[in-house]
Amino acid sequence: MKRTIKSTVVTLTACAALFFAGIFCAGFTTASAEGAADQCIHVYEQTEVAPTCTEQGYTLYTCMECGEERKDGYTEAKGHNYIETSVAVTCTSAGYTLYVCEDCGHTYTETTAAASGHIFYDVVVPPTCTHKGYTTHFCKTCGFEYTDNYINELKHSYKENVVAPTCAEQGYTEHTCSICDEVYFDNYIDALGHNYETEITKPTCLDGGYTTYTCVTCEDSYVADYTAATGHTYAETIVEATCITYGYFEHVCKDCDDRYVTDYAAPKGHKYLEVLVPATENSLGYTRHICVDCNYSYLSDYVTSGDVGYIPEPEEPVIPEFHKHVYEIQTMDDAENMSLIVMRVCYCGKAKQGYLSVTFTNDEGEITEDKITGNRIDYSEMFGQVIISIADENGEQLKAVVVTAQEKQVEPTLPDEPTKPDEPNVPDEPNNPDNPTEPTTPEEPNKNVAETKSSGSGAAVAIFVVLIVLILGGVGGFIAYKKIKAKKQK
């Protein structure tokens, strides 16, 4: 609105100036005085018209009263601003570049290549019994296709297959075309019916029994005549605990192998034999702990041979030599269970298997020989200090170890027989019975004889007491021996 008013003011000012100069404004006529009253006093509205791709720009003045227009302030047309798009050549159309003015939409094209033409590959479809054969030509580039070279259908050529009737299904004749596998059926024969045999399945612990009826002709079957399950009959097996696994009582049904477990016992834990591997100039020393029961091992207490504290990396790669096992015998006295643990171990941790020849020498010089295939030498049946000499299967002596076995029981000593006392003297009968005389009073027995009797009776009592003490001591020793045996068996 402000722009329109400004344009109007400019126009009126210009007209007034021309009037006083004796010149009429544009749009007024000078033909006659009578038409002067009808002439328009223009009030112009100014409009800026921008140039286009093909036409000039200008300023348009339009009278708001009479609609008269005039132009000035022309500017040059700006020309087209094209965007180029390349269109590829096809089998049937040429390739070209499309130019589109992004301001006015004007377009034109320039051809860049002629149409390439179709490049066909052929697919031959052979004739069937009911359809013609033909060749289809497909263009590899654009997918255009056409078909020619038609061949008439072949007609069916049937082969017959007679299918015998079964227990449950009809028999028939099957006609199959040898060319296209088309099939049709005729000549139906009725089914034969089933001929069943029976098989009795006995009941199990969990499942009932039943009778299976099976047709001997077609093996069709069905089940009937059910019986109840018998239930489990369990046998108990004790599985001993190992170093890392629980022991338990395993209950297994003797009929179906069903299984459940009770009475768990905690793992025994490892019992380690320690093997010291000394450090060398080029290798670390360490202690290898080997479980004597399960052969699990681990290393600890690493040491070096010098003060450097580490082994430098060689400049050239060192090719390790092939490791040859060198076995050393290691022993550990398990006094609690009265057994000597023996292992032949290489420093790499490999344990050697095989039997050991063992010689027991007790403190009385008695020698007992045995062969051991495990890693425990039992000396629970020995007494006192025992020397255990160990040799390998080739008879080579490996080691001798002194162990302390159970204390030997002392046999009770029976006392000497007591001294029998002398018989007392008996007086003679009188010689004259007709005139008997007073019998002579026998002398008192010898005092020494009485004393002997008294002392003999006291010695017997003392011997009896000694026997009682020795017997009780023997029973106690026997009880102690049984306790040691029971502990060893545990």
Q: What Å distances lie between residue 371 and 309, 321, 333, 378, 400, CA to CA?
A: 46, 36, 18, 11, 15
Alpha carbons 354 and 375: distance in angstroms, whole number: 10
Please check the confidence at residue 226 and state whether its pLDDT lies above 90: yes
Give me the chain's average pLDDT, please. 78
Please check the confidence at residue 254 and state whether its pLDDT lies above 80: yes
Dihedrals φ, ψ of 451, to 5°?
-65, -35
* pLDDT per position as a tens digit, 327-338: 888 898 888 889
Q: How confident is the model at residue 312 (pLDDT cuts 50, 70, 90)?
A: low
Q: Supply the pLDDT for residue 306.
A: 62
Higher pLDDT, 261 or 304: 261
Sequence spans of domains, the chain:
2-75, 82-113, 120-151, 158-189, 196-227, 234-265, 272-310+325-404, 411-425+445-490
Higher pLDDT, 321 or 14: 321
Please check the confidence at residue 158 and state whether its pLDDT lies above 80: yes
Please check the confidence at residue 459 and state whether its pLDDT lies above 60: no
Q: Supply the pLDDT for residue 261.
A: 95
Alpha carbons 354 and 356: distance in angstroms, whole number: 7
- Residues in CB range of 101: below 8 A, 6 or more apart: 53, 80, 81, 82, 83, 107
Highest mean pLDDT range out of 7-21, 314-328, 428-442? 314-328
Query: Which tokens go with 145?
Result: 């296709």
Q: How confident is the model at residue 211 (pLDDT cuts 50, 70, 90)?
A: very high
Please check the confidence at residue 486 and state whether its pLDDT lies above 80: no
Please check the confidence at residue 166 and state whether its pLDDT lies above 80: yes
CB 309 within 8 A of CB 256: no
Please check the confidence at residue 354 and state whether its pLDDT lies above 90: no
CA torsion sign for 464, 470, 474, 480 is: positive
Average pLDDT over residues 5-21: 38
Q: Of the given ranges (25-39, 273-287, 366-380), which has the lowest mean pLDDT?
A: 25-39
Average pLDDT over residues 423-429: 57
Please check the confidence at residue 313 and state whether its pLDDT lies above 90: no
Q: Supply the pLDDT for residue 349.
A: 79
Average pLDDT over residues 432-437: 47
Q: What is the 3-state secondary structure (H, E, C) of the chain?
A: CHHHHHHHHHHHHHHHHHHHCCCCCCCCCCCCCHHHHHCCCCCEEEEEECCCCCCCEEEEEEECCCCCEEEEEEECCCCCCEEEEEECCCCCCCEEEEEEECCCCCEEEEEEECCCCCCEEEEEECCCCCCCEEEEEEECCCCCEEEEEEECCCCCCEEEEEECCCCCCCEEEEEEECCCCCEEEEEEECCCCCCEEEEEECCCCCCCEEEEEEECCCCCEEEEEEECCCCCCEEEEEECCCCCCCEEEEEEECCCCCEEEEEEECCCCCCEEEEEECCCCCCCEEEEEEECCCCCEEEEEEECCCCCCCCCCCCCCCCCCCCCCCEEEEEEEEHHHCEEEEEEEECCCCECCCCEEEEEECCCCCEEEEEECCCEEECCCCECEEEEEEECCCCCEEEEEEEECECCCCCCCCCCCCCCCCCCCCCCCCCCCCCCCCCCCCCCCCHHHHHHHHHHHHHHHHHHHHHHHHHHHHHHHHHHHHHHHHHHHC
CATH 2.60.40 is held by the domain 272-310+325-404: yes
Q: Supply the pLDDT for residue 317.
A: 56
Average pLDDT over residues 246-253: 94
Q: Supply the pLDDT for residue 59.
A: 92
Residue of 250, 210, 254 whose CA lies nearest to 232: 254
Please check the confidence at residue 383 and state whether its pLDDT lies above 60: yes
CB 45 within 8 A of CB 12: no
CB 387 within 8 A of CB 361: yes
Q: First CA to last CA across the chain, in angstroms?
A: 119
Please check the confidence at residue 414 and state whether its pLDDT lies above 90: no
Q: Supply the pLDDT for residue 100.
A: 94
Please check the confidence at residue 448 and state whether its pLDDT lies above 90: no
Q: How confident is the model at residue 7 (pLDDT cuts 50, 70, 90)?
A: very low
Q: Of the given ranges (100-114, 185-199, 311-325, 371-385), which has the lowest mean pLDDT?
A: 311-325
* pLDDT per position as a tens digit, 196-208: 999 999 999 989 9
